[in-house]
Chains A and B, each alone.
Chain A
């Protein structure tokens, strides 16, 4: 099939789903396909509508509500492996920086939550809908607020581009609708319990990692987002060079390198992005002071 008719077909399907839903054809026909007392013979208009909605979802994205719900499930799993560090001042500081960073994007309305996890692994994670985690192991490698902002901005970019939704959809046999359905079962269940299947899919995604190109994209976008926030655009370079200088065989980096391209490759890919930046902005000493206060000099 050549390209144009294919696109037209998709466009027709999408517009069909919109108009069908607008007129609520399902209820006009007597509550959708589930009221067929004679059983089995009539087609299930509800199924068809939801099927077409799935197609429109994959084109235009996922409902934000579903995205947030999936993200909460994913975050609960990660928090099952490592708890937030018990340091209110630190957590509040990281949330302030994170909030400042996400306010430079067009998804600032999401329920963003940032947390430092007590893991000594060097890593950071995001979940759909705006939960961002950085491990204490990585935090201890950072030397400035700009570097912290760079790491957070990389994770924020994953959320904005819905990279995790994409990754989970590709692991689920029913694609995006399968993931949404699984997350929906959590909501309905007792005590907010997730199904084992959902837990399994979340773990699978974080153990496999995201698409490598999505990692490079998050690096590029992260640099820009952090720069929009007024931070040194070269701070991510500093973080990657620090990571690159650690023995890659060390245990603390095992999951990071299983799921991310080597730091050196990421540095190579960032060069064209940084062409446009000559000088970093003047940073007030107050930035370093508060970074030292909340992070570096923390007991």
Chain B
């Protein structure tokens, strides 16, 4: 008897996890369904754009997805989450992809419901148009600033990566500030 209860409990847990994780989506561009999350992996099928899919999980730049008859991997950027479900729900709903991506619950309460009842405020076109400059608010930002020199370790490992152009090719950083005042002092 205990065994059965445990099995049911496990099933419930597994089911609810899957339910929470799986998202319906569509393929945005014709692409291959790969057997593994690699570009040179076996191609299982060709998926055309607008194919309806279910996302199982994410690994790096890949989603593991299901179609009615197949399961495999597609590139992350070729997927668009299903918007119909979110129609008319606006900013306080919508699928949070991160939940799916990280697999970690944030423990967020659905307290957003409260604000969805109230009007969307601040920084609408109209509010920006009517804004009076607020220098005090600007100066108050100094209270939270973190200096360049302050100990700012975040537990992350920095990496050396070049910027890329629109085709993905590395370019030299072009952002060096050429200060005209320096030149004028020559």
Q: Which residues of A contact B (CB under 8 A)?
A: 17-18, 21-22, 53, 56-57, 60-65, 72-73, 75-84, 88, 91-92, 94-100, 103-109, 111-115, 117-123, 131, 135, 137, 140-144, 147, 160-161, 191-194, 199, 203, 206-207, 216, 220-221, 224, 227-231, 233-235, 237-239, 241-242, 244-247, 250-255, 258, 264, 267-281, 284-288, 291-292, 296-297
Contacts and interface: CB of A to CB of B under 8 A. Distances in A.
A271 B77 contact: yes
Contacts, number: 323
Nearest to B147: A99
B60 A234 contact: yes
Contacts of A144: 98, 101-102, 104, 106
Given A246-B91, A254-B125, A241 B152 contact: no
B95 A242 contact: yes
A113 B139 CA distance: 10
B128 A255 contact: yes
Interface in B49-79: 58-61, 75-79
Contact of A273 (B59, B106, B152, B164): B164
Contacts of A291: 106
Nearest to A114: B144
Contacts of B161: 224, 227-228, 276
Contacts of A269: 166
Would you call the interface of chain B mostly helix, strand, loop, or mixed?
loop
A220 B163 contact: yes
A128 B166 CA distance: 24
A288 B94 contact: no
B186 interface: yes
B125 to A, nearest CB: 6
B77 A280 contact: no
Interface string B80-110: 1111001111111111111101101011110
